A and B are shown apart, each in its own frame.
Chain A
Amino acid sequence: MLRIVKPKNARSKRALQAREAKEVEDPRVAIFVRGTHAGEKVTAVMKELMALKRPNAVSFSKKNLVRPFEDASSLEFWAKKNDAGMFVVGQTTKKRPDGLTFVRMFDYRVLDMCEVGVEGWKSMADFKTPKATPGHKPLLHFASELFDTHPRFIQLKSILMDFFNGEVIDAIHLAGLEHVISVSLGPTPASLNATTSTLQASSSTAAPAEDLASLPAVHIRSYTIRLLASGARVPRVELTPMGPSLDLRLRRHTTADPEMMKQALRRPKLRKQEVEKGLGKKRKNMEVDEMGDLRGRIHVGKQDLGKLQTRKMKGLKPGRDEEMADEDEEDGDAFGAEGDEEEDGGRRKKRRTA
């Protein structure tokens, strides 16, 4: 357990503030951890993944006794210490050779995990092609219907999206799109075609072996993009392999605790600016209330009180007014004698006579 630090100077205060939860989050920082024995292959793969993830990547160069599926306490400790939201743990054992475990954190606790085995890989250096600038945002491409139907692959897609591209941005420079990371699966086996609907998200290690073997392989490729003039507004795209390329197989996993997932999926209330954002022009007399509803103020002009409908009475009917008008003149003298009501006499007389 880390002690609660109270900032003593402005610098540490700023550092602590940067760690606080934000409404729009920074991209997750990934820590690359080597297990007790990582092996050449996994170490190299982790290095390549780190090259793609940079600058939001931290490398642990020493070996660590860590088994994420059995005890996640050290991951939680490191997450807190480094303010990291993700882990990639590399571990090679006889039973599970060349394993990479992607661990996602929420509030410095483990949210979900997914283990993959590296079957084949090719380094970035093996492709003698131009590379993307480090730190540029990649495009992501997922190909297979299983990314929509199979719980394991839905989770994998979510984790990989979080790993490569988890940041919400509001604008992007189109010329800066340099590379794409493509994740495709092998052909869907017949067993999965029919049974995907009944297949449940089996938790962690309980998944039977033949089930895992039947899952198609995952191919991760990265390509640089060349935009060629096509004559239309949209350019034509050509891809050049950039590396690294990985062939993976799914292994163990844990699903997220539903309550924790619910917490993690909470969205901030719709921001005022977003709803107000019309098509680039400022809109007057409109505001957004706390519920996110747009409220407008309209100007209705000056009201003509002369036309106001007051209480309806027999005596005030317009039809009778004209009828009375001639009678008034006759009565006028008689009432005038009683009091001095010369000016407004007409109206009052009408009422009396009615």
Chain B
Amino acid sequence: MDVSDILAAHEAKQKAVLVEKDIPLEVDSGFLTVTDLNTIDAESYEADLEEHLISTARDGVQTLIASLFSLPTTSSPDGPLAQLPPPTTQLPRAKPLPKPKPPTKWEQFAKAKGIQNKRRDKKVWDEEKQEWVNRWGWKGANKDKEVQWLTEVPANADVDYDPAKAARDERKARVVKNEKQHRANLARAEASSSSSDRKRDIDRTLAVTRTSTASLGKFDRKLEGEKPLKGVKRKFEPTEISASQEKSQNLAILSKLGKGPMTKKSEKSSQSSGGEVLNVRKAIRTVSKGKGSAALARGGSTKGKKGKR
């Protein structure tokens, strides 16, 4: 059997829909976008601009359509829908990413106890009326006790006991309680989100303002019960330490010296890893007289100032 004809016919069909370029086109199906990174051919651009634009656009769109038609589809009433992959290009958002809502007190409790969230329908079935009625609200089922024409009264009830009023008071009390809980949840959410940062910020601002007068706060009028400002407590290492400890401290300084100037990040990581060694940054500053580790590594030049110490 000779299949060359069939193959040739297939090839011809493919030719019409295939696009060949030096650099393959970049397709972002998520945003329905294709980018053609080939250089613009100046000759065809000069010759006929519109023709050039439409032909490059056609090639790009052909590639994009080919990739869109190869996506998996799902059926819908209007016809097949192509499932798009998430976009690869990152576009900036218009609004910041929403923060997850902090759980309410009930949600915390339910989670701790493993209680599944059950959705309560807004409507309940009324056996007597044989229809669906609202659980609350207009003609709500929670008002049944208040509107029924006959109510059982307990034997020990007061003379002026009004069962409808009692039921209504009870319902209103539930509403008030719920509102109170709702408010408490909101307050808790507010507090958990930013309070600690805010308190620290306020304290710091206050401390700065108190020392920001000409006398550094010395002659300011004190309020009653105002506590004196706490400064930074300074800690000193003991002057006499064991030889091994001293050795390890000095070695720690030496090991830091070759590394060049410290960045914020490395500083943070070194503090978290070996916090107990000593304040290396400060030690370097003292030894190099504030010139940094680079100056110390160069050495020699500090000779002249030695006597000043």
Contact = CB atoms under 8 A, between A and B. Distances in A.
Given A172-B84, A234-B17, A267-B97, 15 more contacts: A21-B95, A22-B95, A143-B56, A145-B23, A161-B33, A172-B32, A172-B68, A175-B79, A182-B53, A186-B40, A187-B41, A234-B66, A234-B70, A241-B54, A265-B90
B103 interface: no
17 contacts: A145-B37, A147-B35, A161-B33, A165-B33, A166-B31, A171-B83, A172-B32, A177-B68, A182-B60, A184-B40, A187-B40, A188-B39, A216-B40, A231-B13, A234-B17, A236-B16, A239-B54
Interface of B: 13-14, 16-17, 23, 30-42, 45, 49-50, 53-54, 56-58, 60-62, 64-66, 68-70, 72-74, 76, 78-84, 86-87, 89-98
A153 to B, nearest CB: 11
Contacts of B93: 25, 106, 264-266
Contacts of B35: 141-143, 147-148, 157
A219 B39 contact: no
B57 A239 contact: yes
B54 A145 contact: no
Interface stretch (A1-9, A33-41, A220-228): A220-228
Given A158-B91, A187-B45, A236-B17, A141 B60 contact: yes
Nearest to A19: B95
A165 B28 CA distance: 12
Closest 7 CB pairs between A and B? A85-B94, A264-B92, A187-B42, A21-B95, A182-B57, A143-B36, A231-B13
A22 B98 CA distance: 6
Contacts of A235: 17, 65, 69
Interface residues of A, number: 74
B97 A268 contact: yes
Interface stretch (A69-77, A132-140, A334-342, A343-351): A132-140
Interface of A: 20-23, 25, 28, 85-86, 104-107, 111, 137-145, 147-148, 157-158, 161-162, 165-166, 168-175, 177, 180, 182, 184-188, 216, 219, 221, 223, 225, 227, 230-239, 241, 256, 261, 263-268, 274, 279-280
Given A172-B81, A187-B41, A223-B54, A141 B64 contact: yes
